[in-house]
A and B are shown apart, each in its own frame.
Chain A
């Protein structure tokens, strides 16, 4: 069976840059341009640009837009003011998560939801199913490009391209303005790396020109294109969950450590059951850990205690380029979830020690 992959607008650009392309969430995406390690360090130490145009964007408008968003998401979107964004999730009715997402408030009665590429259709159908009051929804995924420009030099690299004062945009805030000649770009101080920087939502017709201008403006700051491989190592060092790995239709937001975006001050899908779960306490928790010595955890490896009894499973793992050690995330029985707890990862028949850590895992490390 041949599965035809969708392509982002700049597919040719990535190929010309020598990227290794892989199927990801139904898209043909750049996983690596040069080296995962080099790309990772570039973002931590300077600035890198990611094309993450595979992500989905829904525009949600109308008098009942906020009401709909409040009913389907777990965080409290009524707290958003114009120009603010919020991390949230779509709980399902069975205790799990349909998707995690960003909610942007563009203006009163005008919101943008940013969802995972792999879940665009599922999320659309889920939200539409709850759209009983005629809220105007538009899937603009196929005409929107998204570049993440991340790293400590991001402001310096991008400022020459816009009159918007980038340094004045607080974390999880955004400004809509002209950027590199493209009008109405959402310049959002968000990201999935922990390195600081911006995510830029751009109409497809301007994407190629904006990419080129960023590459030129960033040259003096050492900008490089960054693939999905380094995106994964960067987010794992921060302990950011990845839908499909660390959270899914079966994991509760409370188990996943997303209690901080689960607000029982309002009503939403499955709130009652989640509230009961919160009061009763969860049986397992998503934790992040660092290997004490050698060994690299990978998804689906087993987590065990000192006696070798199973206590959970690894959901994501990698070598941390910043720590030069194996790091991972996984669900463990609640009694093993406190930072400092010794756990063991079963790697090729050996139980190798690891320690549950606070986030970010890079805290205190020279990056």
Chain B
């Protein structure tokens, strides 16, 4: 009896599963390729239409985490736009990128999302994001795009004559240094590489007070720019990071390491903030967002650090990145999504990037606002942002080519080989340039 009952219910279960899966087996075409092609790309050039009148819901993805400047905007935005409801979802940085990859290729993308500008080469070359220039009718909150941003920032958000992102916070590299130690030892803040070498030598003691650098493209490219070189030729057709300027630049970086006054921050050193706190690091190069990190993670060091332009050999230079707000082409609510981006880009809301996240707002008007340009007691009572604003004038985004990841990997690998002493600077960069050139030619 019992057995039969169990068997019977099993049959029912299987039957149910079979019937619910029957619709599945009629679907095999869906996951297979042809269906995918009708996804986002087909809907690409969407013409601007009228503002949404009926009620709509837009999904917003945000990777800022705890100190997000975006979440506080939702309530007031919904109050100001009663017909638009926001479905707000927060993820960490890694998850955001992975989810974006999946939903852009096979699902429903969000209507607005934060993107790291280093993701742009991949997405932009595949036409993943809507042209904001067309949606906006040429202006952001009534200001023409070219007047809203600096030239470097405008270059960073432009691809194939389209504006593919609204730069929300920006990232350029300046020199963070232990002003207390500089003062104690009577060292002048370096402006040239020679002075940097002298300062690093004067600072360093035993296992402490190093110039910290990462063997990656962010830091490597800065040396190259400062020595008058570039990563790719202006037409993005030739890899030139093994030019004499580039080799000279990386050789200088390497000489800091060889002199024993610099430290290569490999993964087994832990987070950099650890070294900042325990005194291993006395100088490093990074972006404005790191000011926020230092304030929240190392509050006890207030007054010991300052920010300056990174020392140069021939000219100033830095990578330019940050966070962009984008609308995926697959969004069905582009008008409402644009409304939200425009709201987030209003000057007073842009200031929130600084007051909430401690990062640097990207809009020119916000950068020059008094709220942002306050004397910062943490950084010796100076206006640290003015340094990064000045850096932005000469900063340049990574080239927007489809195979950027391969080029980035090749260069990073060369930087690691040099730091390990496996290859000479020339050998490592030559080999990497060859690999990168092959990728670029694809």
The answer to whether A and B belong to the same complex is no
Interface residue ranges, B against A (CB under 8 Å)? none
Interface residue ranges, A against B (CB under 8 Å)? none
